[in-house]
Structure 1
Amino acid sequence: MSSESLTERFKKQDIEPSEFNHLAHLKVAWDYIHEYSMVEAREKFHQDIIKLTKVLGAEEKYHRTLTDFFLDYLYQVKWYLNHTGQSSESWRSVEQQCPLLINDAKRLISYYYSDELINSDLARTQYVDADIMPLDRASLRFSEAEIPVFDLVEQDSPIIVSMPHHGQFIPHDVLEQMTDTALNSADTDWYLVQLYSFLEELKVTRINANYSRYLIDLNRDSSGKVLYKGADNTELCPTSTFDLEALYEGDEEPDSHEVARRTELYWKPYHQELQRLIKQTKDKFGYCLLFEAHTIQSHVPRFFDGQLPDFNFGTNEGQTVNDQLKAVLENFDTGDYSKIINGRFKGGFITRQYANPEDNIYTIQLELSQITYLDEKLRLFDKEKAQKVGEAIKRLVLELGSILER
């Protein structure tokens, strides 16, 4: 029986008690958050499930907090699937991504709620906030296993696209030391995998981080060396957001031992993999282009005045490319989009660290303004805008590849 027919019968309270198990509950909730806005979905789902429990004579089974928790969890999963370019409507994607939700919901809930609170009469009759860990983008938990440091789609290509700020997750043991501000990972380079979905068609290698830059910034020197002298810089383990909101309470900021621990667990694996990919690519093709894909809000007063240009290319003042690649960037027609080379963003640590033009290893950073593909206010992916700017980026990657082959 399809989830759609189940949902329609749920709305009519035409379901047998044996049918409406945990999995059915989740499938119907998934349909609601796609059919309605989140506020409407929450209200309508509660109304309909209360009606159903009355019809079934099972009113004691209604649990307000658990119902809200599963709705909120599925909403965050939907966001994540969009962010990573997966199908955000397919229930199959949820089953594949969320083994704890499907198979061990009690264990999943225990990451956020204590047994005492979730089993209380108060939690049954009204919504109560989690007492262990708030549920948000950074704290979303899929399984008992830790999320890998990075995802890699390796192709037979001389170009590597790196996305070090794509991640949104923060381990729960670190989140416990942070303010609620950290929970939504606001300064993430949102939806990069989806924006660069053309890489699969072009058979270009992609590596993207899974953990938030709030945990550790993979595009900073692990020694703590400042990236932009004389400017406002975020640290290796940032202590504030782009809006200068504190990420830690009081004296909870990471000390040198904690920074070293995060460097070992999260920073080093990403860079070791980058080094392997660069060497392998150079050995095979005789050259390599590392393309650093980044995005940022169009207005960030902390770092620049006014509105940022749309395309911001960084080559460390031309030191990370050869003359041919430099000419491609200078002559690249961005159409309706504004462009600047080595403006506010000249290339981060990765761009500078791994470039060696004399050995045919080149690096370019593109810092794309998020206004080109997002509804910035809501931080939502705009398919029409993204398709247009994505075509421009795709054309650029093709031009860069063509020059390298000559």
Structure 2
Amino acid sequence: MSEINKEKIQQLVEKFEESQFEGSDFFHLEHLLIAWHYVCHQPLAVAKQKFHQGVLELVTKLGVREKYHRTLTDFFLDYLAHLHWYLGTGEWQAVETNCPLIINNAKKLVGFYYSDELLQSDEARLGFVEADRMVLDRASLKLTVEEAPVFELEEFESPLIVSIPHNGQFIPHDVLKTMLPTALDSADTDWYLSQLYAFTSDLNVTRLSSNYSRYLIDLNRDSSGKVLYANADNTELCPTSTFDLEPLYDEDEQPDATEIKRRTELYWKPYHHQLQRLIDKAKAQFGYAIVFEAHSIAQEVPRFFDGKLPDFNFGTNDGQTVNESLAKLIEDFDTSDYSKVINARFKGGFITRHYAKPEDNVFTIQLELSQANYLDMSKNLMNLVLADKLKVKLRHLLELLKGYSIES
């Protein structure tokens, strides 16, 4: 990890804005650090204007105006803006940790989106041109050379397992190119749950979370395609529309049975095999296992429910996935000024229902949070004040579940 901090970046920004760089001390890293500062502190349009103006003044002063490349400059600004959204932080160390590609091999990164032929054209140098290989957006954000793994796992010796199957935003390129623009933002993601439940590491509680978007395949649906809620509007295993009923594909591009089977093998089964392994391990070690299904959804989704959703929505499939003592723990859990319901609109999805075997001491609990409790809904970004308050309550809940004993 480098020693780059906010003070050093601020010094670079001041030097840049006064055009004090010499040609020998303004390289790719300095370019990125200054651009990162702007996209983290300004609206993107303002950040672009200021950065372009500063670069043009600098290259003009240095007598190297021909080195200015409009499309590449915009690409890195757009990429860093998407990265800032994805990471949810303005700390440069997060970029170093999660996306070394933009720092160490920018040429390869750019090559995922643009062909050399297009970038070398006068059109790309003098003005902005759209990528010809892959459109840059939130769903196509490339962090490493390899595709993202199906899941992230933090594993501890714990009877409690937190599963976050709708956390991911990524869509593989071969699928993305068949989808409509409505798919690009992965709008129905359970936003920022990995960050919201990051404290599980401090509690030594195992956490399994997805990396791929539910638009690719829904890990919380039966792979057979069986509907979750009878006589209700259900999303498919491989969804064809958003929660707002906007189509994700043209009709002739919707996934057929062969494609659904392929996605099941590549993305659905690995997550479920891992979850089953974790349950079996906890059961063997502690004599019981508790799977805590972490979810969130917008406060208002007319497709699925009327009005505004309560804050905490617990689901145990009408008590069938827990024993009496766990049911009482949930019932007695004090959510303070947050509203709470149990087995109302959300009774538990496929994971909650499928893995529960109370007679064999395997229990499952779903919690569907209203995103209004931790998001700035106008920007779909985490509200840190709200999130910090919510984390206190969630941490207490998981401490109770971790401290639960089958003999209690």
Q: Judge same fold: TM > 0.5, yes or no.
A: yes
Q: In the alignment, what sits opposite 2:28?
A: 22
Partner AA of 2:187 in structure 1: A
Q: In the alignment, what sits opposite 2:288?
A: 287
1:196 and 1:97 map into 2 onto residues whose CA distance is 18
SS of aligned partner of 2:293 = strand
Partner AA of 1:243 in structure 2: D
Could you give the per-residue CA deviations for residues 115-141 of structure 1, whole angstroms, max 9, x where no partner exists? 333222222222222232221121001
Partner AA of 1:385 in structure 2: L
Q: In the alignment, what sits opposite 1:85?
A: none
The 5 Å alignment of 1:299-378 reads 299-378=300-379
1:290 and 1:116 map into 2 onto residues whose CA distance is 51
Q: In the alignment, what sits opposite 1:160?
A: 161
Partner AA of 1:187 in structure 2: D
Q: In the alignment, what sits opposite 1:134?
A: 135
CA shift for structure 1 position 34 = 2.3
1:331 and 1:99 map into 2 onto residues whose CA distance is 46
CA shift for structure 1 position 90 = 2.8
* 8 Å Cα contact 2:217/2:237 also seen in 1: yes
| Identity of matched residues, % | 60
Partner AA of 1:281 in structure 2: A
Confirm or deny that 1:213 pairs with 2:214: yes
Confirm or deny that 1:3 pairs with 2:9: yes
SS of aligned partner of 1:156 = coil
Could you give the per-residue CA deviations for residues 346-375 of structure 1, whole angstroms, max 9, x where no partner exists? 100000010000111000000000001111
The 5 Å alignment of 1:118-129 reads 118-129=119-130
Confirm or deny that 1:232 pairs with 2:238: no
Q: In the alignment, what sits opposite 1:255?
A: 256
* 8 Å Cα contact 2:40/2:81 also seen in 1: no
* 8 Å Cα contact 2:167/2:209 also seen in 1: yes
2:34 and 2:191 map into 1 onto residues whose CA distance is 28
Partner AA of 2:294 in structure 1: A
1:337 and 1:170 map into 2 onto residues whose CA distance is 34
Deviates more, 1:329-338 or 1:279-288: 329-338
2:383 and 2:94 map into 1 onto residues whose CA distance is 21
1:326 and 1:96 map into 2 onto residues whose CA distance is 41
1:6 and 1:182 map into 2 onto residues whose CA distance is 38
The 5 Å alignment of 1:269-284 reads 269-284=270-285
Could you give the per-residue CA deviations for residues 223-270 of structure 1, whole angstroms, max 9, x where no partner exists? 111111111111111111111111112311111111111111110100
Over the aligned positions, Cα root-mean-square deviation in angstroms equals 1.4
CA shift for structure 1 position 101 = 1.4
CA shift for structure 1 position 95 = 2.3
1:41 to 33, 36, 47: 47
SS of aligned partner of 2:290 = strand
2:221 and 2:288 map into 1 onto residues whose CA distance is 25
Could you give the per-residue CA deviations for residues 155-185 of structure 1, whole angstroms, max 9, x where no partner exists? 1211000000000101111100011111111
Deviates more, 1:335-344 or 1:311-320: 335-344
The 5 Å alignment of 1:101-112 reads 101-112=102-113
Q: In the alignment, what sits opposite 2:115?
A: 114
Could you give the per-residue CA deviations for residues 266-286 of structure 1, whole angstroms, max 9, x where no partner exists? 101000000000000010001
TM-score by length of 1: 0.96
SS of aligned partner of 1:152 = strand
* 8 Å Cα contact 2:321/2:353 also seen in 1: yes
Q: In the alignment, what sits opposite 1:12?
A: 18
Q: In the alignment, what sits opposite 1:93?
A: 94
5+ long unaligned stretches in structure 1: 83-87
Q: In the alignment, what sits opposite 1:31?
A: 37
SS of aligned partner of 2:24 = coil
Q: In the alignment, what sits opposite 2:298?
A: 297
5+ long unaligned stretches in structure 2: none
2:251 and 2:124 map into 1 onto residues whose CA distance is 31
Could you give the per-residue CA deviations for residues 308-353 of structure 1, whole angstroms, max 9, x where no partner exists? 1111111011000000111111222211111111111110000001
2:159 and 2:39 map into 1 onto residues whose CA distance is 42
The 5 Å alignment of 1:42-57 reads 42-57=48-63
* 8 Å Cα contact 2:99/2:144 also seen in 1: yes
CA shift for structure 1 position 386 = 0.9
Partner AA of 1:45 in structure 2: F
1:402 and 1:53 map into 2 onto residues whose CA distance is 62
2:100 and 2:330 map into 1 onto residues whose CA distance is 45
SS of aligned partner of 1:169 = coil
The 5 Å alignment of 1:51-90 reads 51-82=57-88, 88-90=89-91
Partner AA of 2:79 in structure 1: Y
SS of aligned partner of 1:231 = coil
Partner AA of 1:27 in structure 2: L
Partner AA of 1:330 in structure 2: E
CA shift for structure 1 position 401 = 2.8
CA shift for structure 1 position 145 = 1.1
Deviates more, 1:210-219 or 1:334-343: 334-343
SS of aligned partner of 1:358 = helix
Partner AA of 2:251 in structure 1: G
Deviates more, 1:169-178 or 1:27-36: 27-36
